[in-house]
Chains A and B, each alone.
Chain A
Amino acid sequence: MDVLGDLAGGFGAALSPENLLFAVIGVTLGTLVGVLPGIGPALTVALLLPLTYNFEPTGAFIMFAGIYYGGMYGGSTTSILLNTPGESASVVTTIEGFQMAKQGRGGAALATAAIGSFVAGTISTLAITFLAPPIAFLARAFQPADYFALMVLAFVSVTALIGRSLLRGMISLFLGLFIGLIGIDNLTGQARFTFGVPQLLNGLDVVVVAVGLFAVGEALYVASRLRHDREDIIPVKGRLLMNGDEFRRSWKPWLRGTALGFPIGALPAGGAEIPTFLSYTLEKRLNPRAPWGRGAIEGVAGPEAANNAAFSGVLVPLLTLGIPTSATAAILLVAFQIYNLQPGPLLFTNSPDLVWALIASLYIGNVMLLVLNLPLIRIWVKILAIPRALLYGAILVFATLGVYSLSNSLIDVFVMYLIGVAGFFMRRYDFPVGPMILGVILGPLMEAQFRRALQISEGDLSVFVTRPISLVILLFAAAALFLPYLPRLLGRGRRLTVGTGSED
C-alpha cells in the first residue's frame, strides 16, 4: 500500500531527535494546560503562534498536535478531581468521575480515562491514516459553491448543537463574523468596519481575538467570582491502577466510545460534546446494574474515549477540506495559513512530508501521553494546587506577552483587553465563545468562496442548490438547525439541549 510507505516516511521524519523533542514539549505543555482549569489547547496554540515564526513548519505542527492531544488527556484530571470540566467535552466525565474520586477511587478513574484516551486516540489515528487520503482525493471535485455550503454546515452545527441557546450561539457567531470583516476587502481594496482607525486596516490578528476571548475573558470571569466560589481538590488516594474487575468493565465502553466519537468528529459538522453525551447514555442503557450516579466507571471510560476520538476525527475535515469544526481546529488552521499552507485536498499532494510526519507524530504523541500520564499522575495533580490568584495573574502576564510580542503595539494589547471584557460578559450570560472564534477565522474564507461561486455562476444564486454536493450539504445544515426543535414540534417538551445532562 502507498499509504504505508508514506506513513513510514512520516515516522522517519517524526522520529528525528529534533522532532521528538518538539513532540515531548508539545505533549507536556498540552497536559499542563489541560490540567490547569480555565486554559485549554486553543489558547495555548494561539499564544504560541507568534513564537513559531522562527520554527520550520513540521516541528511546529508536531508540537501543536502534542498540545492538542495533551490538552485532552489533562482535561480529564480536572473533571475528575475538581468537578470542573475544563471544556464542554468533558462535562459528562465529571458526573461519574467526581463521584469515584470522592469514594477514593480517583486513581482508577484517572487510569481508565488515560487508557481509554490512548485506545481511542490510536484507533482514530489509524482511521485518519487510511481515510484522509481518499477523502482528500474526493474533495478535489469540490467547487466554491460546495465549500461555501460546507462552511455553512460547520457554522450551523457549532452554533446549534453546542450550548444551551441557539439565539446566544448565533449572536456569538455573528459578532465573530463582524470581527472577521474588519479591515481591507481583498477583492476591491475597500476599508470595511475600520471606523476610520488606520491600525484596523489590516484587520484584527486572530491571536489578539483568541487570547482576549479565552485568556482575559476567563481570568476576569474567575476574578469576579473568586470570593464566591470554593474549590476543593480531592486527593488521589490508594492505587493508581485499575483492578481486574474495573478493567473488564472499561474496555467495551472504550471501544464503543471510540466508535461513536470518531465518525461524529469527522463529519464537517463535528464537535466533541455530542458523542460524549451519546456514549454516556448508551453505557447507562447497556449496563443497567452499574452504580450510576455513585461512581460508575463505565460513565468515565466511554465518554473519555468518545471525547478523544472525536477530537481526532476533527482533524479529518481540517486536513482534507480545510474546514475547522472546533475552536482549537480553527486556530490550527491559522497556523497553517501562517506557513502559507492551505489545508484541503491539495495538502496531501503539495506537502506530503509535513502531513505524514504530523500523522506519525499523532501515534507517537499518544504513546508519550500514556507514559506521561499513568506513572506521573501524582505530579500533575500537584499542579492543581497552584493558588488560583497566582495562576490567573500568570495567565494575564502570558496573554499580554503573547499579544505584545506580535508587533510591540500597545493598540493590539488594548484591543485584546477590550475583547477580554466582551469575553467576560459572554461567560457571565452563557454565550458560547467557540462560534465567535470560528466566525472570525472562517467568515472571511466563507465570503471569499461565496463571491467566487457567484462569479463562476455569473451572479446566479441558484448555483448553491443546483449543484448536488452543495444542495445535500445545505440540507444537512438545515437538519442540524431544526433537529433540536423536533421534540418540541412533536409536542414532547423542551428543546433537546446538550449541556443539560442532569442526573435523574
Chain B
Amino acid sequence: MDERGSGGAAEQESGSLLGPRLVAVFLVALAGLLLQQALQIGSTRGYSVVGPTTIPLVVAGVLLLLGVVLAVRCTLARTIDADLAARSSEEEIATHWPTVGIILGILVLYAVALNGFRLVGVVVPGLGYVLATGLFLPLTARVLGSRHLLRDAVIGFAIAIVVYLAFTRFLGVRLPSGVLDLVGL
C-alpha cells in the first residue's frame, strides 16, 4: 500500500469518508441495540455483588461513545482523521466489489451443499464433503482470476479426498458423506 500522507486532504474529505461514516452509523446502531438488550437482562444478582447487567451496560455504553466519536472524526472538518481518509480513498480505488459479493455467495452455497438443509420439514440432503469441496475450490479460484480450471479441479478433489479420509478414518471427526454413500465409499 502506498503511503499517501495527508496531502490533498481537501479532495478526499467528502466522498472518500463515506465508508468510515457508514461504519460509524453501524456502530452507533449496534451499540443502541446492545444498550436496549443489556437493560432487559434480568437483574437477579445471585451470589454476586455485581449483577449480570453491569458489564454489558458498560460495554454497550462505551461502544456507543466510541461510535459517536468515530462519526464526529469522519464528519467535522477540523477533527478529520487524515490517516483514515487517505486509507479509505485508496481502498475505494482498489476494491472490486463484485468479487467480494460473488465469493460470499459461493461460500454460503458451499456450506449449504456440504450440510444439506431442512425446509418446512423436508430434508434436502447435501452433496457431501468431497463433491462440494471439489466443486468449490476451482469455482472460487476462477472468481479470483485463475485460468486453469482443470488443474484447479484436480487439486480441489485431491484436497477433498485426502481431508475426508484423514478426518473420518484417523481423527474420528464426522464429515458429511452425501452422495458418496450411494457409491458405498
Contact = CB atoms under 8 A, between A and B. Distances in A.
A205 to B, nearest CB: 15
Interface residues of B, number: 77
Nearest to A195: B37
Nearest to A175: B63
Contacts of A216: 107
B163 interface: yes
B144 A392 contact: yes
Interface string A406-447: 001010011001000100110011100000000000000001
Given A188-B52, A400-B110, A171 B146 contact: no
Interface string B64-97: 0011011001000000010110011001011111
B47 to A, nearest CB: 7
Interface stretch (A134-142, A350-358, A454-462): A454-462
A223 B141 CA distance: 10
Contacts of B95: 224-225, 228, 428
A400 B59 contact: no
Given A389-B146, A390-B152, A404 B114 contact: yes
A11 interface: no
A396 B110 CA distance: 10
Interface string B35-70: 001100110111111111001100110110011011
B52 A226 contact: no
Interface residues of A, number: 65
Contacts of B104: 220, 417, 421
Contacts of A193: 34, 37-38, 56
A165 interface: yes
Nearest to A413: B111
Contact of A171 (B56, B70, B114, B163): B70
Contacts of A170: 62, 66
Interface stretch (B7-15, B167-175, B177-185): B167-175
B32 interface: no
A8 interface: no
B84 A165 contact: yes
Nearest to B91: A428
B165 interface: no
Which of A51, A174, A450, A458 has the largest number of chain B CB atoms within 10 A? Answer: A174
Contacts of A191: 41
Contacts of A410: 111-112, 115, 117
A404 B112 CA distance: 11
A167 interface: yes
A205 B111 CA distance: 18
B124 interface: no
Interface string B148-173: 00001001100110010001000111
Contact of A192 (B56, B70, B141): B56
Interface stretch (A118-126, A177-185, A279-287): A177-185
A340 interface: no
B57 to A, nearest CB: 11
Nearest to A388: B144
A69 to B, nearest CB: 24
A276 B117 CA distance: 50
Interface string A471-482: 000000000000
Given A400-B114, A404-B115, A171 B174 contact: no
Contacts of B94: 224-225, 228-229
A198 interface: no
Nearest to B136: A397
Contacts of A51: 171, 173
Given A51-B173, A224-B94, 5 more contacts: A50-B173, A227-B99, A389-B146, A400-B111, A410-B111
Rank and list the top 5 A-B pairs by shortest CB-CB distance, nearest first: A389-B144, A389-B146, A393-B140, A188-B46, A228-B94
Interface of B: 3, 19-20, 23, 27, 34, 37-38, 41-42, 44-52, 55-56, 59-60, 62-63, 66-67, 69-70, 73, 81, 83-84, 87-88, 91, 93-97, 99-100, 103-104, 107-108, 110-112, 114-115, 117, 133, 136-138, 140-146, 152, 155-156, 159-160, 163, 167, 171-176
